[in-house]
Amino acid sequence: MKKITFSILFFGLSLLGFSQVIQNFGTTGVDNDAVVLTINSVDITVNGADPITAISLATFTVHYNSATGGTTYCGDWYDFDLTVIGGASDGTTIPAGCDADFNGLDVTGFTTITLTSNDLDGYFDVIFFDIDLLVSFDASSPPSCNAMLSATENVTLEGDISWSEASGLVDGYDVAVGTASGLSDVYSETLGNVSTTNIGALLEGTTYYVTITPFNSAGASIDCAEQTFVTFVFPVNDDIAAAIAVTVDEGFCDGTNTNAHNIQASGSAEAFGSCFQGTEALSDVWFTFTVPANVATVDVSTDFTGGTLLDTELAVYSGTPGSLVEIGCSQDDGVTDLSNGFSWNSLITDLAVTAGETYYIQIDGYTTQTGTFCLDISTNQVLSTNSYENEAAFTYYPNPVKNTLSLNAQKTIEQVSMFNMLGQEVLRATPNTVDSDLDMSNLATGAYFVKVTIANVTETIRVIKQ
């Protein structure tokens, strides 16, 4: 089986008026029988329709037992005979060769090149060998002007940029980068046929203007469009003291959006969510929200498409910095399929909150993941003024609870039952009043479901006991 691959090497156009491309040929087999690689002149295809000016042998490599196996056994366990028919080296034979023994041989105009293995140790050795042919030719036209930047938003400050390969034969790229359109004050270099370069340290939150012009021996592409990229801004909310306030029901994430990121965020001195992977938050950022009047529960979500952080961890806390109490945590509860085909973002629904209270949100990436995401907080259950027209409407506070949970209603509260997360009833009361104080001081810390019956209608709420 013969394999053919190729790559392009760049040489300065001012020195050579032609392009040079490496085309690789290889095969594999067991050396107890001779393994033969035959290359015919018609196998040379990298030049397309352009006339070949020269061909020479380049790197020869043999691997033992696999395509990535050891390369030190040639000459001890096996070697190779090379024969050239036709062209500049017609009739040339190089016996018992290895590695560099074949390099540099001019085979311009050849008809057939044959490499044959020899077994030296009498063992059945599986060998993978290949040889590069350096093909020189005159390119007939410049490459296309379609090398596009790989990243255009939240580019890191280290200055590494990359682009897609231009169509057509490419010898290299002229790359110019500036701080304004048409400028090259940041970077200006002629490169070989590469698809990445480092343009030096960049400024935070800055737009850079890039022109990538591919060329070959026929010339450079003309009028390549200027492209731009924007570097990321360090997250200002890396620390809880600088937590960003998010408005409930603002609709930040309607559609496909991002409104935050944790790129280059550091670990937190605060607690980390109980559902977080590992033993610390490595790249967490912080937000706060204050519950509007009459709101009883909220949904807290990063479960939206469009971001580059595809696996978030999210925790919600009551209390104050240094004395936080977790009231909700989510790692993989999202339901929206992301660009990776999974729904690994975070979603907390029906989170019981207290109107007027301020809560903290901690968001991290699973393990060390960073990227952009969208955070949204939406109303779930609202106890508005109009709700009091409902005979079963009531309010409750505080949540989380340290000792006493207070209930207030327009109508008589007939019965209250409280259950732990195992479904066990831990408290029952029949207030028969419009307000009731429930003593939770003897209950263990954790989440509880409270069923409140008013006017023969039962509503269930969730509270957190501190």
User: Burial, 244: exposed, middle or buried (Cβ in 10 Å; 0-12, 13-18, 19+)?
Assistant: middle
- C-alpha to C-alpha distance for 340 and 457, rounded to whole angstroms: 45
- C-alpha to C-alpha distance for 265 and 294, rounded to whole angstroms: 35
Supply 10's token pair: 């760049």
- Short-list 90, 88, 2, CA closest to 52: 88
**130 φ, ψ (degrees, to nearest 5):** -150, 160
Tens digit of each residue's pLDDT (9 = 90 or more) over 55-108? 999 999 999 999 999 999 999 999 999 999 999 999 999 999 998 999 999 999
pLDDT at 12: 35
Ranges for all domains in the chain classified under CATH 2.60.40.1930: 395-465
Q: What is the dihedral of CA 449, 452, 456, 459, to 10 degrees?
A: -50
- Short-list 15, 414, 11, 7, CA closest to 216: 11
In CATH, 240-379 is 2.60.120: yes
pLDDT at 445: 84
In CATH, 395-465 is 3.10.20.30: no
Ranges for all domains in the chain classified under CATH 2.60.120: 19-137, 240-379
- Short-list 176, 175, 240, 172, CA closest to 15: 172
Residues 6+ apart with CB under 8 A from 89: 105, 106, 107, 110
**HEC string of 8-47?**
EECCCCCCCCCEEEEEEEEEEEECCCCCEEEEEHHHCCCC
pLDDT at 332: 83
Which residues in the chain show pLDDT less than 50? 1-17, 382-389
Residues 6+ apart with CB under 8 A from 290: 245, 248, 356, 357, 358, 359
pLDDT at 18: 67
- C-alpha to C-alpha distance for 345 and 336, rounded to whole angstroms: 8
Half-sphere exposure of 204 (CA within 13 A, CB side): 6
Class of domain 19-137 (CATH, top level): mainly beta
pLDDT at 327: 96
pLDDT at 143: 92
Residues 6+ apart with CB under 8 A from 288: 243, 244, 245, 246, 358, 359, 360, 361
- C-alpha to C-alpha distance for 202 and 223, rounded to whole angstroms: 26
Query: What is the end-to-end Cα distance of the chain in Å, rounded?
Result: 71
pLDDT at 447: 78
Ranges for all domains in the chain classified under CATH 2.60.40.10: 148-230
Q: Does residue 205 sit in helix, strand or coil?
A: coil
pLDDT at 148: 97
Report the run of H or E that residue 296 belongs to, with start and end.
strand 295-301
- C-alpha to C-alpha distance for 352 and 118, rounded to whole angstroms: 78
| Annotation: CATH topology of 148-230 | Immunoglobulin-like (2.60.40)
Sign, CA dihedral 271-274-275-276, equals positive
- C-alpha to C-alpha distance for 286 and 55, rounded to whole angstroms: 62
